[in-house]
Structure 1
Amino acid sequence: MYPIDLLQSPFYLFNNVVSVLNSALLSRKVAPGAQPTLADFDVNIQTNTGFLPERPLPRLPEAYSSWENALTRAQEVLILGENIMEEDTQSRADGELWRLRIRELPVISINDLNTDKQLLRRAHKVLAFLVHFYVHSMPPDQTAGSVIIPRSLATPLLQVSAILRMAPVLTFADTVLWNWDLINPELPVTPENMRFGVELFSGTEDERNFWFGNARVEMLGVEILQLFNEYHSLPNVSDFASVCKINRLLTRISAVVRRIEEVMASMRELVDPSIFFWQVRPWFNGSASGPSKPSWVFEDGPDSSTLDLSGPSAGQSSVMHALDIFLDIDFKLQQRRCPAPSDANKRADVGFMERMRRYMPGLHRDYLSYLANTSRPVRELAKSTPAVKEAYNAAVSAVRKLRDSHIRIACLYVVSMSRSTAIPAGCPVFAMMRRMERQQNQGRSTGTGGNELSLLLKSNRDATARAAIKSS
């Protein structure tokens, strides 16, 4: 091959020039006017924490010590109620006494929390953990039909959630974004200087490592948010220099997504599937998140059917939602793209991802809306600009591969475990067999939100692939 063979043909170069000129229709000729800053959405790219706060509050003021003390005690004595057998009198007694004290607590006013978002976050996290400890520490014979969440927890949790504009249940924000502290406060915020899993249900290192893996994804996502910001800060997208920069931004996004995939794959070495499925995951379940799960009733609260109560899910990660919005992934199958959705795709819960946004802090949801309403969607730019199409498709392909990896992880940690007969350490044989029987009666494996897991994940993967721009 001669060196000249490596050069683009004059015809290809001409096409690129024309496409760059055409892309002016998608751009602003001048820099955008006054725009909200990322800080307005509680997004921190200067401190490299993204959707994580600069540092979570470690404890509420003394007026709320009864909540904090109850959470500390719960982590010391409570175990999963469905693992408690009749002869386990000590675990039953500890659980009954703890729940009795919760019911006897007064309803504490949140007036002193209203104006401080750090206090509100901590209050939501503590109260949500307490609610899940309260429900899931009950033996199965006490949870038939419905479980009443006592007003001492229900009232302040509903009030705090209304201010933060998020679901009154344990969420991804509580367990990942706000569930860490600095090892050395004098050093910068980096994954190496962060202790994750400050609050745990099972007390296992596997649970701590699970939260750590999710948090590492969020930290990697900060670079993605920075790249989005660079794209939207461009004065226009029509000149040759801008097109070159957009290609570099998309290439960097692809690289970050590949690193996220590596982090997800590495969790297999740190989180045992059996411990996760039997000892950790049951604590996440929200109200009626599966056929055999009891519904929750908030004492003095609204009808629970009007509330979002599914529990935490990776589908609530604002970073991943932002990435999907930026690339214009159509999970709801509203746009005509190739190939057409399969019958299995259509049977999946196509509204799941949109519904998961209601579990996010309201300001983060506002950021996603801001991102979705951009005047220069990158997919439309790539459709009209062949010079951008390859880099855009590469980014879409990286996200599709990430979702393929997620499917394999879900199969290992949820689908396979739901069919396993292996007896995990620390899980009583009788209780384990009883839970296996319930899983078999339910049929398909479900996510913490009660959705059919494999069908949903494959549908999301296929929707991602359909975003790729096909050749004319």
Structure 2
Amino acid sequence: MVPPPVMITPDSPVLPMSPLPSSHFLSQPRSASVRPAGTVDTATLNAHDFDVDNRTGFMPFDQPISRLSGEYEIWEELMDEAQEKRLQLGRRPDLTQEQRDDSEAWRARVRSTPIISPESLNASEVHLRRAHCVLAWTMHFYIQSQPPPPPELAQSDIIIPSSIAVPLVAISSQLQLPVVLTYSDDVLYNWRLKNPVPKPITPTAPDDLLPMSPGSAFFPRTPFSASSIPQTPFSAAYFTPLSSPLPEEEDEDEVNMPKLDNISCVTLFTGSKDEEEFYLSSARCELAGVPALEAMRATMDELFVGDALSRKRIVRYLNALAGHIDVLAAQLLAVREGCDPEAFYHDIRPWFMGQDSSPTGRKWIFEGVPPEDQPLELSGPSAGQSSLVHALDVFLGISDYSHGAGAGDRKVGPTFLDRMQTYMPRHHRAFLRHLAAAPRPLRALIDDWIEREPALGEAYNAAVSAMKRFRDGHMRIVALYIMGPARRERERQAVLAEQAALAEGSADAVPEKKPLKGTGGTDLVQFLKGVRDRTAAAAVSLPR
């Protein structure tokens, strides 16, 4: 049975009701303790439930809550005001005095806001997530709206007010997330339905009588009872054989599930359609990836059987997976239809940069946080934080079985990708660990049977090739949205510097050319090429 809901005392803040059903594991009371990274998370009924839905994948099936209330309303108001005032990037040279004054007045209000303890939020996962979103967005508004310091203070620290810093550090600790804006903040939990359909209120059966749907142990709809949790790290009990990896028929609940064409963003820095389309393109990739996850699940069902018929099904599922990955690549490239590259590079991207990718190199200091607790992991949101892409890599064994990357690429790639997993919701990290712990990994079966059944190797290589095409598409997007605008900006700055030097009679005019970094803080070109090459190198050698 599901534990009773947490008791609210008269002194507790009034929080909006979660849209999640009471049986959902995220609606259960959380433990107040924070477990070390890498240990089994039993804060809710989620040691076996990875917050991955069989209809929406890593996107939440239910619309995220859009507002905190009670004493936490002040956080929402600060973010509302930042958006309503249309705060501008502080480094823009064309700011009017009115814009500068509005920006400073807002930051002064942030500094004067009292520190509010987030402890009352610890009972609710969904409210903690909302609080992380609100405070992280507000922090980035605060940092990036500041004007550049005078030259003598160019390397001075950026002080984040305690009103934001103290609760955000505490909330991030509870969620085991970095103290910075993440992919989950601007994509996974930053959406609402365009036209939600009211749900009729109907009586429901007790939680322990609700039926389990096929495959729901992999993408659960309802929580297990405690006695049904397998005691081994990974076992066939997690899977129910499925005859076909086809989606189930839509039920009443699915009317209000997120789909490619029925969601919009809740929070934006610029309020522009370009920014919204940039975030939504990633959200649509997550939704478009659901068939790929289902093909993975069906394949793993067959891996547990491992007979001749199962191997034939695996060939079919892997070929289907290749097609699903190509759909992801097409969805990725579709961002070009709604987001202008110049607008993205100059007006949108600077807002969500973290300390690691900032061109200024200034250090972020969290006021009111002890020195030993000052956050160190401060990259911005990145596509590298998508659990979907990591899941495909883990399932195909791309990192483990790649044999063609150079030593330099090996050092850059895995280190960065491992870091990016720390930016994912912890339930999704647990899913990836669970997937990586499979006792019957796909690639091992391919290697064992490829000589006798080359069709397995051909199907596996088709999926790996599709991943390589996906990464080719990603490189095209990066070239269009980051590398191209960056090159043009360097050329523009070089011309301006040369003109200024000529006017002053100086010959030292060309700005230093530095490696281009992604929002995750990597040397962008080297990293992307390394990941793409490792992906291609994971293909198996087919028998002659």
Q: RCO greater where, 1 or 2, for CA within 8 Å and sep 6 or more?
A: 1
Shift in alpha-carbon separation, 1:203–1:439, aligned structure 2, 3 A: farther
Provide closer, same or farther for how the CA distance between residues 447 and 367 of structure 1 changes in structure 2, counting only shifts above 3 A: same
Q: Which amino acid aligns with 1:109?
A: S
Distance 1:183 1:410, change over 3 A: same
Question: Residue 292 of structure 1: SS of its match in structure 2?
Answer: coil
Aligned structure 1 segments of 4 or more residues deviating by more than 6 angstroms: 36-39
Q: Which of these residues, 525, 529, 538, is aligned with residue 454 of structure 1?
A: 525
Residues 70 and 52 (structure 1 numbering): CA distance in 2 closer, same or farther, change over 3 Å? same
Partner of residue 441, structure 1: 512
Alpha-carbon distance, 1:49 to partner: 4.4
In the alignment of these two chains, the number of paired residues is 423
Q: What CA deviation, in whole Å up to 9, does each residue of 1:354-409 have, x standing for no partner?
A: 11001111111111100000011101111112231111110000000110111111
Maintained 8 Å contact 1:182/1:195: yes
Asked if 2 retains the 8 angstrom alpha-carbon contact of 1:308 and 1:358, the reply is no
- Which of 466, 471, 477 aligns to 1:403? It is 471
Q: CA RMSD in A?
A: 2.8
From 206, 229, 232, give the equivalent of 2:274.
206
**How many angstroms apart in 2 are the aligned matches of 1:323 and 1:400?**
12
| One-letter amino acid matched to 1:179 | N
Q: Does 1:181 align with 2:192?
A: yes
Q: Superposition pairs for residues 310-329 of structure 1, below 5 Å? A: 310-329=379-398
Contact 1:49 1:219 in 2 (8 A): yes
Q: Distance in 2 between matches of 1:327 and 1:53?
A: 26
TM-score by length of 1: 0.83
Task: State the secondary structure of the residue aligned to 1:420.
Answer: helix
TM-score in terms of structure 2 length = 0.73
> Take 1:120 and 1:102, find their aligned partners in 2: how far apart are those partners?
20
Greater helix fraction, Structure 1 or Structure 2: 1
Per the alignment, residue 263 of structure 1 pairs with 331
- How far 1:115 moved relative to its partner? 1.4
Whether contact under 8 Å (1:180, 1:194) holds in the other structure is no
- Matches of 1:454 and 1:199 in 2, distance apart? 30
Q: Given that residues 44 and 53 in structure 1 are in contact (C-alpha distance below 8 angstroms), is that contact kept between their aligned partners in structure 2?
A: yes
Quote the offset at 1:345 in angstroms: 2.7
Structure 1 distance, partners of 2:419, 2:57, is 25
Instruction: For residue 438 of structure 1, report the CA deviation from its aligned partner.
Output: 12
Q: C-alpha distance in 1, partners of 2:435/2:481?
A: 33
Shift in alpha-carbon separation, 1:343–1:440, aligned structure 2, 3 A: farther
2:488 is paired with a residue of what secondary structure? coil
Q: How does 1:388-399 map to 2 (within 5 A)?
A: 388-399=456-467
Match of residue 25 from structure 1: none
Q: For residue 148 of structure 1, give the secondary structure of its aligned residue in structure 2.
A: strand
Partner of 1:154: 165
Structure 2 distance, partners of 1:62, 1:104, is 19
Say if 1:50 and 1:218, in contact at 8 Å, map to a contact too: yes
Give yes or no for contact 2:57–2:293 (8 Å, CA) kept in 1: no
Contact kept? 1:418, 1:439, Cα under 8 Å = no
Question: Is the alpha carbon distance of 1:302 and 1:376 closer, same or farther for their aligned partners in structure 2, counting shifts above 3 Å?
Answer: farther
Equivalent-residue separation in structure 2 for 1:205 and 1:439 (angstroms): 36
Q: Indicate the larger mover: 243-252 or 141-150.
A: 141-150
Cα distance in structure 1, aligned partners of 2:89 and 2:411: 33
Task: Tell me if the contact between 1:167 and 1:358 (Cα under 8 Å) persists in the aligned partners.
Answer: yes
For the residue of structure 2 that corresponds to 1:114, the secondary structure is: helix
5 Å matches for 1:1-16?
A: none
Match among 66, 85, 89 for residue 80 of structure 1: 89
Please name the residue that 2:448 is paired with: 384
Supply the distance in 2 between the matched residues of 1:48 and 1:440 (Cα, whole angstroms): 47
For the Cα contact (< 8 Å) 2:59–2:283, is it kept in 1? no
Are the counterparts in 1 of residues 471 and 532 from structure 2 also a CA contact under 8 Å?
Answer: yes
- CA change 1:346–1:373 in 2 (3 A) is closer
